[in-house]
């Protein structure tokens, strides 16, 4: 097994895309999380000039930081939710490294040199796991760093709500499984990345909306990418209410049903990828 | 003799086209085995099946007396069609990767790079290479880890005359070192110069398998030319041992029934006042045996 990992790592480490992609992920992600607190809240409460009004507007937060973006345990959900936007970077890497094996016919060469089809597939799974783990690790470390600079570590439990990191891992793992299938199926990285983005942002949302609204079927929740999108609930609405009305709401919980469904869809894409690889002449 | 490879009724078809039809033959250790056939006769398909990149419809084959295919492939050096390497890696890195896949313990990377004269460019990226250099790297990769068998598919395709001569020399060198060589080619001259055994394919069917010398006929062939080609042809029609004649440009190609010395023919023609300005005896004629099989 170490042999397959070492073969795959050798292919990755010599390509600048791997380092650029992973570096870009870390830089963009940490920049967004670090500066996000400075962004102004989209809601504004205008003071009416009265004394009470001035008092009120002084209490109302103006930026995300003031609204408690960095407070534990909420930071896990806030951070992982935002980090989800960057999952297309590892997905692009996955797709690129997969399809270029076909573009340059190196997959065929690997098999001629003595790799079985199954071994090749496993070596690509290592890539998938490596991309998912490195991305998750980058997010986890950034969140821990921000958590410790904005919170009193004596008072908070750093790991409370950290299951959202697991949710992020699943979200990335799912998208990468889909990317691996697409890269293998289409064999052209440029075409495959366009299909992936179009499907994720256009085809599936539109299909889901049409089916739900015109056919009256509630199936949009069960389309492939949907469970992975719901893994980390959008945290901002709740975040404002917590601070603004100083009333602690219940924390969002990781929904294991959604998690399992995402995992099942990932396995379906991986299974389809393996089937395609097995069936195809090289 | 130890058998390196055995095929049993190996078949493959693409729709209705049979690229391999019940192929059965054997390759013995230490031979230079040529798989011969015109374009589209199923040579590449056959090699593809033997390497597990093309799935046979039926039949089977054995490498090294029943090794697992993945293990067998690690003992086979391959040179197929165009060279496929990772464009972003250097030659040395590409060979290192191939060695990892082949599980060579101490890969002889520097040695093979020197053998194909690429050691000075070994640390340049593959994508900067010319076609000839890419081909040479493919040969280096095939020689990696001192394989027991070398498998070549049209090894001189796309090479310039100097490259062709170099590859031919290399094949003979390799064969002399005891490595079994299996090569597919549609170029007769190539096979004739290096192969001891041949299998001839036509439309996926095996037409002949055995010694190359058995395939080539024993009768000689004369290539003649004279000032007046017409009268030469006319006179030769009278000659008792002439079987067949054919004009090829300024030359007359004459197939003889019996062993007749060129000197006797020359004298016979001189007596009839025809003076040759070209007389050549072509002894070996694998081509004839081959064409006979292909035309039948």
Tell me: do B18 and B133 sit in the same domain: yes
Is residue B54 domain-shared with residue B174, that is, in the same domain? Answer: yes
Q: Is A204 on the interface with B (CB under 8 A)?
A: no
Query: What is the C-alpha to C-alpha distance for residues B256 and B233, in angstroms, rounded to an integer?
Result: 14
Provide the shortest C-alpha distance from residue B86 to chain A (in Å). 7
Q: How confident is the model at residue B235 (pLDDT cuts 50, 70, 90)?
A: confident
Contact A113 B74 (CB under 8 A): yes
Cβ atoms of B182 and B175 within 8 Å: the answer is: no
For A97, which residue in chain B has the nearest alpha carbon? B86
Q: Report the pLDDT averaged over residues B112-139.
A: 90
Q: Which of residues 92-111 of B touch A (CB under 8 A)?
A: 93, 96-98, 100-103
Final residue before a domain boundary, out of B172, B199, B215: B215
| Of A247, A250, A246, nearest in space to A61 by CA | A246
What are the tens digits of pLDDT across the range B8-31?
888 888 888 888 888 888 898 888
In this structure, the answer to whether residues B86 and B227 fall within a common structural domain is no
Cβ neighbours of B247 (radius 10 Å): 12
Higher pLDDT, A44 or B282: B282
Domain identity same for B190 and B237: no
CATH code of residue B154: 3.40.50.300
Do B118 and B231 belong to one domain? no
Residues B141 and B183 reside in one and the same domain = yes
- Residues B55 and B183 reside in one and the same domain: yes
pLDDT at B161 > cutoff 60: yes
Separation CA B9–CA B207 (nearest Å): 14
Low-confidence ranges of chain A (pLDDT < 70): 43-59, 239-250
In this structure, of A56-60, B251-255, B279-283, the range with the lowest mean pLDDT score is A56-60
Average pLDDT for residues B66-94, to the nearest whole number?
Answer: 88
| ipTM value for the complex | 0.84
Residue with tokens 């080539």: B216
Taken as a whole, chain B contains a residue count of: 296
- Say what the pLDDT of residue B174 is: 81
State the Cα–Cα distance between residues B277 and B295, nearest whole angstrom: 32
Distance from chain centroid for Cα B83: 18
User: What is the radius of gyration, based on Cα positions, of chain A?
Assistant: 22
- Residue B175 shares a structural domain with residue B236: no
Count of A–B CB contacts within 8 Å? Answer: 68
Q: Is the pLDDT of residue B60 over 70?
A: yes
What is the per-residue pLDDT for B149?
92
Domain's final residue, options B165, B187, B215 = B215
Nearest to B73 among A10, A104, A113 (CB): A113
Three-state secondary structure readout of B210-249:
EEHHHHCCCCCEEEEEECCHHHHHHHHCCCCCEEEEEEEC
Residues of chain A found within 8 Å of residue B100, distances taken between Cβ atoms: 3, 6-7, 10
Give me the pLDDT at residue B258, please.
64
Mean pLDDT score, B280-289: 67
In angstroms, the separation between the Cα of residue A17 and the nearest Cα of chain B is 10
Domain hosting residue B250, numbered range: 221-295
CB contact under 8 A, B85 and A16: no
Same domain assignment for residues B209 and B229: no
pLDDT given at position A236: 78
> For every residue of B36-88, which 3-state class applies, written as one string?
ECCCCCCHHHHHHHHCCCCCCCEEEEEECCCCCHHHHHCCEEEECCCCCCCCC
Instruction: Count the helices and strands in chain A (H runs, E runs).
Output: 13, 0
State both tokens at A22. Answer: 């992973």
pLDDT above 80 (res B98)? yes
Residue where a domain terminates, one of B215, B243, B260: B215
> Looking at the structure, do residues B277 and B232 belong to the same domain, yes or no?
yes
B54–A contact, CB cutoff 8 A: yes
Residue A247, class by beta-carbon neighbours within 10 Å (0-12 exposed, 13-18 middle, 19+ buried)? Answer: exposed
pLDDT of residue B220: 66
Q: Is B180 helix (H, G, I), strand (E, B) or coil?
A: strand
Predicted pLDDT at B217? 56
Q: Identify the H or E element spanning B16.
A: none
- pTM here? 0.81
Asked if B190 and B251 sit in the same domain, the reply is: no
CATH number of residue B269's parent domain: 3.30.70
Interchain proximity A112–B97, CB inside 8 Å: no
Using a CB–CB cutoff of 8 Å, tell me whether A13 touches chain B: no
Which of B69, B88, B101 has the CB atom closest to A110's CB atom? B101
A-chain CB neighbours of B97 within 8 Å are 7, 10-11
According to DSSP, the residues that pair with A217 across neighbouring strands are none
Question: Which residues of chain A does B82 touch, with a Cβ-Cβ cutoff of 8 Å?
Answer: 105
Closest listed residue to residue A271, CA positions, set A169, A194, A184: A184
Q: Is B78 within 8 Å of A112 when comparing Cβ atoms?
A: yes
Average pLDDT over residues B213-222: 67
Regarding whether B257 and B150 lie in a shared domain, the answer is: no
Q: What percent of chain B stands above pLDDT 90? A: 15
pLDDT value at residue B44: 87
What pLDDT does B145 receive? 86
Q: Give the integer Cα–Cα distance in Å for B53 and A232.
A: 43
Q: What is the pLDDT of residues B165-189, one digit of tens each?
A: 877 887 888 888 888 999 888 877 7
For chain B, the domain total comes to: 2
């Amino acid at each position: 097994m170490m042999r397959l990992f070492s073969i795959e790592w050798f292919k990755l480490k010599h390509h600048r895309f791997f380092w650029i992609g992973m570096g870009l992920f870390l830089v963009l992600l940490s920049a967004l999380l670090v500066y996000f607190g400075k962004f102004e809240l989209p809601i504004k409460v205008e003071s009416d000039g009265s004394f009470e009004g001035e008092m009120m507007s002084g209490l109302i937060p103006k930026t995300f930081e003031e609204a408690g973006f960095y407070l534990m345990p909420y930071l896990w959900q806030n951070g992982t939710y935002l980090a989800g936007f960057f999952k297309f970077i590892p997905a692009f890497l996955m797709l690129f490294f997969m399809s270029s094996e076909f573009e340059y016919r190196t997959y065929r060469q690997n098999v001629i040199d003595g790799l079985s089809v199954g071994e090749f597939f496993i070596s690509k799974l290592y890539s998938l796991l490596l991309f998912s783990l490195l991305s998750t690790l980058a997010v986890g470390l950034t969140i821990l760093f921000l958590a410790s600079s904005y919170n009193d570590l004596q008072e908070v439990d750093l790991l409370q709500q950290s299951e959202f990191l697991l949710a992020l891992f699943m979200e990335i793992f799912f998208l990468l499984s889909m990317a691996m299938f697409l890269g293998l199926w289409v064999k052209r990285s440029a075409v495959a990345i366009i299909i992936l983005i179009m499907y994720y942002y256009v085809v599936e949302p539109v299909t889901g909306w049409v089916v739900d609204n015109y056919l009256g079927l509630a199936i949009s929740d069960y389309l492939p990418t949907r469970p992975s999108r719901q893994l980390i609930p959008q945290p901002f609405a709740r975040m404002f209410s917590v601070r603004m009305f100083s009333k602690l709401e219940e924390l969002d919980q990781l929904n294991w049903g959604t998690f399992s469904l995402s995992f099942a869809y990932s396995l379906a894409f991986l299974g389809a990828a393996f089937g395609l690889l097995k069936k195809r002449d090289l | 003799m130890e058998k390196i490879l055995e095929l049993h009724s190996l078949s493959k078809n693409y729709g209705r086209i049979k690229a391999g039809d019940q192929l059965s033959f054997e390759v013995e250790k230490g031979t230079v085995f040529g798989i011969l056939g015109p374009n589209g006769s199923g040579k590449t398909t056959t090699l593809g099946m033997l390497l597990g990149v093309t799935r046979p419809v039926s039949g089977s084959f054995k490498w090294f007396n029943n090794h697992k295919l993945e293990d067998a492939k690690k003992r086979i050096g391959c040179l197929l069609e165009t060279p496929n390497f990772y464009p972003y890696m250097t030659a040395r890195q590409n060979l290192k990767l191939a060695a990892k896949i082949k599980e060579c313990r101490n890969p002889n990377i520097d040695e093979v790079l020197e053998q194909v004269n690429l050691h000075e460019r070994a640390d340049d990226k593959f994508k900067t290479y010319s076609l000839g250099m890419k081909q040479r790297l493919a040969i280096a990769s095939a020689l990696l880890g001192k394989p027991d068998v070398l498998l070549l598919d049209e090894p001189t395709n796309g090479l310039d005359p100097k490259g062709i001569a170099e590859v031919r020399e290399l094949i003979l060198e390799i064969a002399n070192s005891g490595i079994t060589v299996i090569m597919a080619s549609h170029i007769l001259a190539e096979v004739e110069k290096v192969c001891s055994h041949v299998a001839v394919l036509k439309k996926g069917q095996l037409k002949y398998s055995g010694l190359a010398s058995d395939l080539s006929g024993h009768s000689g062939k004369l290539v003649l030319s004279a000032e007046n080609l017409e009268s030469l042809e006319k006179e030769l029609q009278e000659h008792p041992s002439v079987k067949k004649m054919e004009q090829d440009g300024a030359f007359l190609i004459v197939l003889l029934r019996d062993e007749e010395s060129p000197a006797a023919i020359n004298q016979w023609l001189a007596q009839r006042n025809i003076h040759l300005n070209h007389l050549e005896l072509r002894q070996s004629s694998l081509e004839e045996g081959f064409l006979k099989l292909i035309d039948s």
